[in-house]
Structure 1
């Protein structure tokens, strides 16, 4: 269901990506159609989404590293999170600051290696201990559970659209960005569905084992008599974590950079490094904000901190995905290119996003997860208050935002 939803969102993103090859894409896509306030709120939402994704990844690094060391009998050597997080983010920040082409290729190679390792291990485990008779029937799935889980299923996809934020640094962006967005959603969905199916199959259909474990791959490989394989998988996940954090900081910094150039933030973050041609100050702001939130979450358990950051990040993405589905046909209508199929794709995308948003709110999660929507709402109200303050105290800056978004 998440895969289908993301494919419809991707189709709506691509309508806009083919028309507007711009840095900070979502802020501008939405602002040019729904006005400066909607555009600024979309950019504000997406910044939180990308940076909180980076926070969740930094926290997951500690979880994966702990799993690797535990498998090796070296759990006592796990470094504390307050040391690990700054070191990890320093490496990510330097890669983002140095060169977008280099950092993109590093991310691609590392992610490819991680996926290859996971595919290999899942294949070996399934061949050795899988049983077709053990696969659970679809009828046994609880719809309420599925709707609640959809928020995190969508979180597993987020970032598939981030190539749109790099349009100014992409060759032939009107062709390559839409292709990257759609292929990312499709291939990621295929990978997740297949991996989920074969993981359950490897446990002879007993999916409760996965649901109740904080180290599901360890359960699967132990069930197959291959406990050593879990170490390899979690090492691969650490590699993947670096790639994901780097992609999140790259995308988030481009939005900060774009909104700085549009004067929503200080103009200093809207500058480009003279040699590396990267938004170095926006990268620094993104890294420091990510580090601050990560350190603030350290008193929580790693699993709870990861869940909290990931859930709030997903709210940020859902808001923008919903707005993109609304804006795409309006943009086409404004330019006289709207067709019935565009309306249909938009309508389905809107309904799917509303369903995911509803599933994240009802059934009401247990405390303190039930507070997270209000935390996100407070963040959004803070951005709205800053926009209104800027409009009242610096009308010329506000006029510049309106003028630029009309371009």
Structure 2
């Protein structure tokens, strides 16, 4: 069966969850996340207790082992992509019970837990494979997690496959929920057409935003994915999204400084809102530059061009639609989230 048939089935599940409301989405995501975390941790710990050639060590954390700096920085770009989504908690504040307390906890808690999970799983996979044979890991025709699961769990790659499919579906549901609520929030403040803020009377969800978001996603998936194939589609779109996130994170640093310096000077802290933003901005600029020079191979080389086009299109819409005389009132409430200050 063609891959795009499965993709359309996943889109249907995403539409159902986004349309029915945040409660059903969150419940499903919690169950799916617990399952994939348990499988990932189990495989990582099994690898640590059954190490391959090289034994248990921490060579994977030694910077001296970095052989290709360009590839290393491109890997950081993909790591940023893996982390994106923590900020989505703010987009669903409208539908949470106590956003003032829960949203900050969700954001910082997810960063810490996901970071620890990624590090442990990557380390366990390396140790289980064998740190003396990592070249074979990098060149393996089969995903290393499948190979390790078959060796350590006697055919356990099926469990890993189920966990990966489960994880992918969970990410799609979370992204759909976040994107539709972001469109709704922007439409409500006037930054986007008001139709996107229309609420379904039965479920209380932004039905127009849900339909538009899914329509765009399906179009991109089929129009780009069929000629490129699913693997290149994932790599190109994932890298594109990350290159778009780099300037967004930099602007967030600037916004945090300006917001607390002008709106809440009593909470302004030099370390938090000057030193840390400067360090993270410098790191993001370095990562972006080192991952682009030299350019990666095609079709990944298209990612920065697509990201720049996407950003310029957004800026053009902003100036063309919303910064005309009589259309600037939305700026006063842009970024506001009910229940959050």
> Is 1:340 the counterpart of 2:270 in the alignment?
yes
Aligned counterpart for 2:7 among listed residues 85, 110, 118: 85
Aligned to 1:369: 300
Aligned counterpart for 1:153 among listed residues 79, 82, 90: 79
**Structure 1 residues 227, 314: closer, same or farther in 2, change over 3 A?**
farther
Aligned to 1:28: none
Aligned counterpart for 2:233 among listed residues 305, 326, 330: 305
1:192 CA displacement: 0.6
TM superposition score normalised by structure 2? 0.88
Contact 1:126 1:201 in 2 (8 A): yes
Instruction: Describe how 1:149-298 pairs up with structure 2 within 5 A.
Output: 149-205=75-131, 206-213=133-140, 214-222=142-150, 224=151, 226-296=153-223, 297-298=225-226
**Relative contact order higher in (CA < 8 Å, ≥ 6 apart):** 1
1:252 CA displacement: 0.6
> Is 1:349 the counterpart of 2:280 in the alignment?
yes
Aligned to 2:313: 382
Aligned to 2:23, the other structure's residue is in SS state helix
Contact 2:232 2:299 in 1 (8 A): no
Aligned to 1:401: 330
- Unmatched 5+ stretches in structure 2: 337-341
| Cα distance in structure 1, aligned partners of 2:193 and 2:238 | 28
**Structure 1 residues 129, 208: closer, same or farther in 2, change over 3 A?**
same
1:320 CA displacement: 1.6
TM superposition score normalised by structure 1? 0.75
1:371 CA displacement: 2.5
Cα RMSD after superposing both structures? 2.1
**Structure 1 residues 366, 275: closer, same or farther in 2, change over 3 A?**
same
- Unmatched 5+ stretches in structure 1: 1-78
1:225 CA displacement: 5.2
1:282 CA displacement: 0.7
1:391 CA displacement: 4.6
Bigger Cα displacement from structure 2, 232-241 vs 314-323: 314-323
